[in-house]
Amino acid sequence: MRRPNILFCIADDAAWLHFGAYGCQWVSTPVFDSVAARGVLFENCYTPNAKSAPSRASLLTGRYSWQLGEAGNHICHFPEDAGVFTEALEEAGYDVAFTGRDNQLHHPFQTSWGVSTRLVGAIIMTHGDDDGLILPPAVAPIQVVVVPIAAHKPGVSEKAAELAEKISKYARVKLDDSDNAPGWKFSQWEMKGVPLRLEIGPKDLEKNQCVLVRRDTREKVFVSLDELETAIPAQLEALRKDLYERALANREKRTWAATTMDEVKELAKANTGYIKTMWCGDLACEMKMKEEVGLSSRCMPFEQEHLSDVCPCCGKPAKTMVYWGVAY
């Protein structure tokens, strides 16, 4: 009997309503829909523990989340006695592999860190302001919006269209030639986070110039139309650099170091952000940090710092620095 191919696709933070196979008309999921058409599409599944890690653990083990111990929550330990279906498949002679173009079996990359709602939320919270989004140029769908001023005046609309065409060769650009007033357009594109706005009107045409406005600082600069090909990339790069440096400075000023549990508790009570300490690697100490302070481990950075010789939870020798924070 030929063994079937088994494929599990887990989409974190994705609701079933937002897949074409389930009838969604405004989100395109062609790969998922293709797999669903060839396989089995479940229509009556639900989870009593709607969180990513417990849901994945339930799929891996075939157990309810309340049967999974530490794996039933968002912590970084998986019980050794919780058998998973991949181990059972391996024991039965299966493997996670695919036949390549060379007709040989290859092991795939088994995780895909795609853009999720959490990443979108992080961009909004990290860079946004009271007027809306501020998108880094690398991820902005529109990097430059061209807004004609007094578009009814001779030559303005035509020049705006010409500039948009030229800019499209080196940046993602949108020409807003709608009937809305310029002020309305400014607010709309600022809210959407477009990094750079180009304004051009009759007086600018006379001087062979335009106005470039950065979304983050609202700084206006007058630029010759002959220099746009270098000025626009330079403005986008300056905005990117400033966004990064402001975000880094904000993170650094909200990160504190501690060497004792008393220090951790005082810092957690008085501040929001990250607390970094040494850690012995014992799960009991991680659970103690969560129970007594409400913090869970966020990461163990590649660039380690030696803050002290011992773990603040138990006093045992510690060689690893950990960032702690509140999980939302």
Which residues are 196's β-sheet partners? Answer: 144, 214
Query: Which token pair is 63?
Result: 């157990």
Q: In terms of DSSP H, where are the helices of 128-227? A: 156-167, 182-191, 202-207
Residue 311 backbone zone (phi > 0: left; psi -120 to 50: alpha; other: beta): beta
Mean pLDDT of the chain: 89
Q: Which residue has the higher pLDDT, 112 or 124?
A: 124
Instruction: Using alpha carbons, select from 23, 21, 16, 41 the residue that is nearest to residue 31.
Output: 21
Q: Indicate the range of 21-25, 35-39, 70-74, 293-297 predicted with least confidence.
A: 70-74
266 neighbors 298 (Cβ within 8 angstroms): no
**Residue 181: is it exposed, middle or buried by C-beta count within 10 angstroms (0-12/13-18/19+)?**
exposed
Q: What is the mean pLDDT of residues 182-196?
A: 96
Q: Which residue has the higher pLDDT, 27 or 211?
A: 211
Q: Indicate the range of 20-29, 42-51, 89-98, 273-282 predicted with least confidence.
A: 42-51
Q: How far apart are CA 193 and CA 134, in angstroms?
A: 4
The confidence score (pLDDT) of residue 161 equals 96
With a cut of 90, say whether residue 63 has pLDDT above it: no
